Every structure is written in structure tokens, then in C-alpha cells.
Amino acid sequence: MVAYLTGLCAAVLASLLGLVLPPRWRVRGSGILSATACVFSMASAGEVLASGNSYSLHTSLLLPFTGADLALDPLSALFIATTAVVGFSVSLYTIAYAAHTPNNRALVATQPAFLATLLLVPAASSVATFMIAWELMALTSLIALLTEHRERPETRDAAQWYAAMTHAGAAFILLGLILLAARTGEQSFASIAASRPLLSMPIASAVFVLTFIGFASKAGAVPLHVWLPRAHPEAPSPISALMSGAMVSLGIYGILRVDETLLGGGKLWWWLLVVAMGVASALFGALHSSASADLKRLLAYSTVDNIGLVLIGVGAAGALLANGQRILASLALLAALYQLVNHSLFKGTLFLGAGAVQHATGTRDLDQLGGLAARMPLTTTLFAVAALAICAVPGLNGFASEWLLLQGLLHGFAAHPAVTQAAMLTGVAALALTGGLTATAFVKAIGTGFLGQPRTGAAESAREVAPSMVAGMAVLALGCVVLGILPGLVVPALDRAASAGLAGGAPNSLASGLGLDLTSLKSAIEPGQLAAGLLAVVTVAWGGLKLAQKRAGFYRPRRTEAWGCGRELQTPRMEITATSFAEPLQRVFADVLRPNHDLEVTHIAESQYFVEAITFHRSVDDAIERVAYRPVISAMSWWGRLARRVPNGSVHRYLAFGFVALVLVLAALT
């Protein structure tokens, strides 16, 4: 706990340093301090995860009336640890990233502040503390999002969306928590959980719906995701990595903390709702990420998709618990948490990698990139490791968690009500399609962004980024490899977190490693063995062929021109672009994606039979945003225009407002 508090203070101090230090010292001083803060938090959270102990702290100093409550249990420690790992790499990365940015004070000061709030939220253990921490997180992230608004005006639009969605979400959470606190008469989480029997089911369901809406909007679940594909791409890349790798996860934390442990599991339909939203998010996110040609937008939608997978796991766990299947519930939740941790690792790497690309080329449009593998070999390698991990390639962490999730759903079939079984079936189908689409999206990202030949001068002249940026990415990418080969390292910790995340706790049933040994669960894999086998085969095949080549008298592979369909010259213009790569998929899923086509034919002045130019434009915008949000926004702006007519500058009219209001109030009082 002391280490945790030290870390928290260090992060706040780092933010202050970033604010006051002169430019020469600012970046390095703040960055190193913020990385240290992460090490301290990591140590504290790691101790809780390893031992399963819980700590709590109450102080009447910081908040008036209620005082602040902080507590660490394995569930919150898991989120703190993940945030700390992502925060550590982001802090390293920011050192070089900010050094090359003019006016870097805002970024350098807000990044540690944002990090501090991210570390604070999971530890908050009373309604007041939690809401304050939550609002601080919303505020710091909003400022962090806006730090580059001078360079890109689109940032302001994104920030408006983000602010609106995040505050609406916070309002829902606040309503839910107030209702909960009022009905139980308690405000610390521990006493609320203890006085849970006071809650009637309708009230509990109301609390669930309110808080779930709020948390799901923070997690970016469809249809509350609209802010995410705007805010993630427009934020500076270290902030995107923190948002996607840590902040979004806290939405899931909220669902687990409030809806599962405080409300005690509740009804089956709650969790079926969670699964349904997970399925929608997974499919919608994966489809859009495979249709996107903007690298960071692709990653943002992929976040929506991964959160969907986590929600499927969380919902399955809740549904199984509601059916009384405690062991299976803890398996499903373990899988969901594993997926969430992995998501933080690979999505963190990917956003930092996208930032490196943007830094080196000035663009994040995949159609303008290409050929970066030869120019930025380290970034390419680290990006590719994370991308393959997210595609669930065996030997990397995404595979381990996706396999576990599949096992959780498969064994969830043992639970009886037919609705649960249907939910599991839908979950498996969604997981499968999502997996395939994710692979498509990331093959596209690597293949068109990093391989082949550069399509523009900007990509042509790209250079490898500074060492500290590479180090930031490397830490997270290493995590992807380690958690992929040795899942046994984290599974016990995840198991503790999962039992802390289920109402009433769950038996610690899982032995270390993925040698799962549950009653009725006999499947087992050894990812380490698979990876070792693969490596052995690849090495032997490579060595054998080298030997055969040497014996035949060939020493190096000869380089020749690629086959250009009979043309002499192979130019980058012939390469497939990200947009055309996604075209078949867009056609297959045209009913969901609804791409906009725009074909303009310009004829030459003399005759309409000869064409001067044809422009074809196609874009895929968010169908949910168009259908569900645009009408609301236009209604609101119509209302705003209407209201603007009322104040016309006449002092008499303003005074009349006050008079009428006074009369009305008095009339109402009588």
C-alpha cells in the first residue's frame, strides 16, 4: 500500500514537474519520474496479486464529509498492474516523442496526471472516492486528448464527442451509485456489499442498467462506442495507448466491481444483455477495423472488438454464476481478464507503433505508407509481434486468452437454461468471425503499411524513431511474447483476480499453467511446447535449406525484379492499397458497413463522349453513429437555435424572464 501511494504521489509530482520545469529538463525529468511511479505501483499491485492479500485505507483528509477510501484487492491490483506496465512504456516513449514536439508542456504535464488517475480509479473503494477519481480521469484524459489541437483541428470535434459521451456516462454511473448508496444507506464499497440483502431486485436491476450504460460507454461497447474511433486516432499516440490500453479496461473494471461484486451477480438477463452487447461490439468493431485504411482508426475499432470479446467472457461468467456454475464462471472470467490484460499489452504496442509511424512519416493513412520494413526495422518488428498476437497466432499471448475464452464458452454449454446455451453459441460464432476479421485487418495493416514499396515520398524518407520510443514499444511487445509462451506466470494471479471479481468469491480451482484440470474439462495445451516445436521446425528447415543451397554452390539468394504482369517496370502504383485490400470484405458485409460510393465523371468540353477525369470516392462511416446519434444531435442543435432566438439583447426581456420565473415559483409554492 505504501509503495502504491508512493507511486501515486510520484505520478502527480511528475505532472507538476512537467508543468514547472524549463523545457530542457521537462521531458526527461517528468518521464523518468512517471516511469518510476509505475514501477512502485507495479510492485505494490504485484505483491497483492502474488499473495492474494487485501489492504484498505481510510483518511478523512482529502475529501470533505466522507473522507477518502482506498483499497487494494486482487481485482483492483490486476488493473493497477496492467496500467502500470502500459504506463511505464508510455512514459519511456513520451520522453522521445515529446522531445520532438514543439509546445510539449501540455503533453508532458497531462500524461503523468492522466496516468495517476488511471492508477487511482481501481483503488477507490467508496462511492464518493470512486466518482471523484472517475471524473478526474475523464477530465485529465480530455485535456490530454486536446494537447495537439493546434496541429489538427479535427481533434476539437473528437474532443466534443468524447466530452459529451464521457460525461453522459459519468452521469449514469453517478445516478446508479447514488441509488445504490441511498438504498443501502452505506457509501463504502465493503459495507454496501455487506448490506446487499436490503436491495430489492427491481432496484438492483435499475442500478445495474444505469451503471452498465455508464461503464459500457467508457469501455466503448457498441452502440455507445462512437467517441472511441474519433478520440483514439486524434489523441497524441502515447495518450491513445493509455486510453486504449488502460482507460477502456476500467469500464470493464467498473462492471465487475459494481455490477458483479457489489450487486451480487443478480439476474440472468443482466448478463445476457452483457453478452449481447459484447457480441455486437466484437462484430461491429472487427468489421470496421478490417474496412479502415487509417491506421489509428483501425486500431481504435479493434479496441471496440476486443472489448466486445472481454464483455462476452464477463457476460458468460455472470450468466454461469447466475446459474450456479461457480467453477465455470471463474474460468470464463479468468479468460476475459486474460484477454483484457493481453489487449492492454498488444494494443499499447500497436498504438505506440502507429505513433512512431506517424512521427516518422507524418501520416497514418495506410494508403500513403508502404515499405517501412526496410526503413524502420525495429518499429516494424515490434508492431508485427503485437499484430500477430492480436490475430491469436499460437506462441503469442492473444492465442492463449482466446483459447481459454473458447474453452470457457464451450464448457458453459453444460449450464442448462436454453438461453444460456444460445448465448454461448452466439459467443463462439462471434469470437470466430471476429478472429478471422481481426486477422484480415492486421494482415492489411502490416502488409500495406510496412511491406512492399513506399507509395509516397513521406514513406520513402521515413527513418527509425529514437531509442526511447523503441524501448517503450519493446517492453510491451516483450510482454506479449512472455505471456504467450508462459501463461503459467500470470494465470494464478488472474485466477485470484477472477475470484475477487465474482460475487461471493470462487474456489481457486485452476492449477498453474494452462494444464486445465477442472471437473469435466479435460482439454489441455502447452503453448510453450507449441512455440518451441515451431521454432525447432523453422530452424531445422532453414538450416537444411541453407546447407542444400551451399552444396549446390549458391551463397546468397539472388535478387531479381518482381513479376510485373509482362510490364517492364514495377511501380508502387501497382501495389494493392489498404482500401482495395478491404474491398472484397466490404462487399460481403455491405449490408452492415453501408459504404458510401461517389463516382464523378468529368467530360471534356468538346464532347460528352470523351472523358477527361473520373473520380471515385468511397468511404465507410459509422452506420450506428449515422442512424442513432445524428438525429439526436440535429434535434439538439435545432432546439439550441430555437432557444437562441429568445434572448435578443433587450434588457427588458431578460428582466421579464426573472419576473416570470419568480411569479411561477411563487405560484407553485402556494
Partner 1 sequence: MTGANAMLAAATPLLWVRIFASALQVVAVAVGGPLLLGLMGKVRARAESRIGPPITQGLADLRKLVRKEAIRAEHTSAVASLAPLVLLGSAVVASAVTPLLTTSTIITGGGDLFVVVYLLLMGSVALALGGLDAGTAFGGMGSSRAMTIGAISEPALLVAILAMAVQAKTSSLPGIVAGTLAHPAWLTSPQWILALAALAIVVIAETGRIPVDNPSTHLELTMIREAMMLEYAGPDLSMVTAGEAMRFALLLGLLVNLFFPWGVDTSRSVAALLIALVALAAKTALLAIVIALIEVSTAKLRLFRIPELLAGGFVLAVMAVTAGLVIK
Partner 2 sequence: MTLGFSLDLVELASGIVLATAVLTLWRKDLRALISALRIQGIALAAVAAALAFYIGDAGIGFVAVVVFAVKGLVIPSLLARVVRTDPGSREADPLINVPASLVVASGLIVLSFLVAGQFTGLLSDPVTRLAPLGLATVLIGFFLLVTRRKAISQIVGLLLVDNGVALVAFVLTAGVPLLVELGVSLDVLLAVVVLQVLVAAMRVRFGHLDLDQLRELHD
Residues in 371-400 that interact with partner 1 by CB under 8 A: 371, 373-374, 380, 388, 391-394, 399
The one segment of 35-43, 277-285, 414-422, 447-455 that binds partner 2 by CB under 8 A: 414-422
597 or 645: CB nearest partner 2: 597
403 binds, among partner 1, partner 2, none (CB under 5 to 8 A by kind): partner 1
Residue 584 Cα to chain centre, angstroms? 27
Among 191, 363, 381, 426, binds partner 2 (CB under 8 A): 426
Residues 6+ apart with CB under 8 A from 255: 211, 212, 215, 216, 219, 274, 311, 314
Residue 419: CB minimum distance to partner 2, A: 6
User: What residues from 406 to 425 belong to the interface with partner 1 (CB under 8 A)?
Assistant: 406-407, 409-410, 413, 418, 421, 425
Q: How far is the C-alpha of 620 from the C-alpha of 445, rounded, in Å?
A: 17
20 or 422: CB nearest partner 2: 422
439 binds, among partner 2, partner 1, none (CB under 5 to 8 A by kind): partner 1
23 binds, among partner 2, partner 1, none (CB under 5 to 8 A by kind): none
94 or 577: CB nearest partner 1: 577
Residue 350 Cα to chain centre, angstroms? 11
417 binds, among partner 2, partner 1, none (CB under 5 to 8 A by kind): partner 2
Contact in structure between 494 and 81 (CB atoms under 8 Å): no
Q: How far is the C-alpha of 28 from the C-alpha of 34, rounded, in Å?
A: 10
Please give the grid coordinates belonging to residue 431: 469470437
Q: How far is the C-alpha of 210 from the C-alpha of 197, rounded, in Å?
A: 20
Q: How far is the C-alpha of 194 from the C-alpha of 175, rounded, in Å?
A: 21
Among 47, 135, 460, 583, binds partner 1 (CB under 8 A): 583
Residue 515: CB minimum distance to partner 1, A: 7
419 binds, among partner 1, partner 2, none (CB under 5 to 8 A by kind): partner 2
Show the binding pattern over residues 524-543: x = contacts partner 1 (CB under 8 A), - = does not.
Answer: xxx--xx--xx--xx--xx-
591 binds, among partner 2, partner 1, none (CB under 5 to 8 A by kind): partner 2
Per the document, the length of the chain is 670
Among 139, 428, 471, 623, binds partner 1 (CB under 8 A): 428
Q: How far is the C-alpha of 626 from the C-alpha of 623, rounded, in Å?
A: 5
Nearest to 423 by CA among 312, 308, 323, 321: 312
Contact in structure between 361 and 462 (CB atoms under 8 Å): yes
User: Could you say which DSSP state residue 516 is in?
Assistant: -
Residue 415: CB minimum distance to partner 2, A: 12
Residue with cell 509505475: 38
Q: Does 532 bind partner 2 (CB under 8 A)?
A: no
558 or 645: CB nearest partner 1: 558
Question: What's at 124, amino acid-wise?
Answer: A
User: What residues from 271 to 300 belong to the interface with partner 1 (CB under 8 A)?
Assistant: 290
176 binds, among partner 1, partner 2, none (CB under 5 to 8 A by kind): none
Q: How far is the C-alpha of 446 from the C-alpha of 438, rounded, in Å?
A: 12
Which uninterrupted H or E stretch holds 68?
strand 68-72
606 binds, among partner 2, partner 1, none (CB under 5 to 8 A by kind): none
Nearest to 272 by CA among 221, 316, 222: 316
Among 22, 102, 153, 418, binds partner 2 (CB under 8 A): 418
Please give the grid coordinates belonging to residue 35: 516511469
Show the binding pattern over residues 540-579: x = contacts partner 1 (CB under 8 A), - = does not.
Answer: -xx--x--xx--x-x--xxxxxxxxx----x-x-xxx---
Residue 470: CB minimum distance to partner 2, A: 44
Question: What's at 278, amino acid-wise?
Answer: G
User: Could you say which DSSP state residue 626 is in?
Assistant: I
DSSP 77-144: HHHHHHHHHHHHHHHHHHHHHHHTSSS-HHHHHHHHHHHHHHHHGGGB-BHHHHHHHHHHHHHHHHHH
391 binds, among partner 2, partner 1, none (CB under 5 to 8 A by kind): partner 1
552 or 667: CB nearest partner 1: 552
432 binds, among partner 2, partner 1, none (CB under 5 to 8 A by kind): partner 1
Q: Does 592 bind partner 1 (CB under 8 A)?
A: no
Among 436, 488, 492, 595, binds partner 1 (CB under 8 A): 436
Among 9, 425, 547, 661, binds partner 2 (CB under 8 A): 425
User: What residues from 579 to 598 belong to the interface with partner 2 (CB under 8 A)?
Assistant: 588, 591
Q: Does 448 bind partner 1 (CB under 8 A)?
A: yes
29 binds, among partner 2, partner 1, none (CB under 5 to 8 A by kind): none
Sign of CA dihedral 648, 649, 652, 655: positive
Phi and psi at 586, nearest 5°, equal: -60, -35
Neighbour tally for 577: CB within 10 Å: 21
Residue 277: CB minimum distance to partner 1, A: 19
Nearest to 44 by CA among 55, 28, 35, 33: 55
DSSP 382-395: HHHHHHHHHTT-TT
Residues 6+ apart with CB under 8 A from 258: 173, 176, 177, 180, 207, 211, 215
Q: Does 432 bind partner 2 (CB under 8 A)?
A: no
Residue 619: CB minimum distance to partner 2, A: 23
529 binds, among partner 2, partner 1, none (CB under 5 to 8 A by kind): partner 1
Count of residues of this chain found to bind partner 2 when the rule CB under 8 A is applied: 8
101 or 420: CB nearest partner 2: 420
Instruction: Name the CA dihedral angle for 9, 337, 110, 20, rounded to a multiple of 10 degrees.
Output: 30
Please give the grid coordinates belonging to residue 385: 509481434
Contact in structure between 98 and 107 (CB atoms under 8 Å): yes
Q: Does 439 bind partner 1 (CB under 8 A)?
A: yes
User: What residues from 298 to 327 belong to the interface with partner 1 (CB under 8 A)?
Assistant: none
Residue with cell 484524459: 141
Q: What angle is formed at CA 165 by the lines to CA 180 and CA 64, rounded to 5 degrees?
A: 45
Among 52, 447, 488, 595, binds partner 1 (CB under 8 A): 447
431 binds, among partner 2, partner 1, none (CB under 5 to 8 A by kind): partner 1
Write out the residues near partner 2 by the rule CB under 8 A.
417-419, 422, 425-426, 588, 591
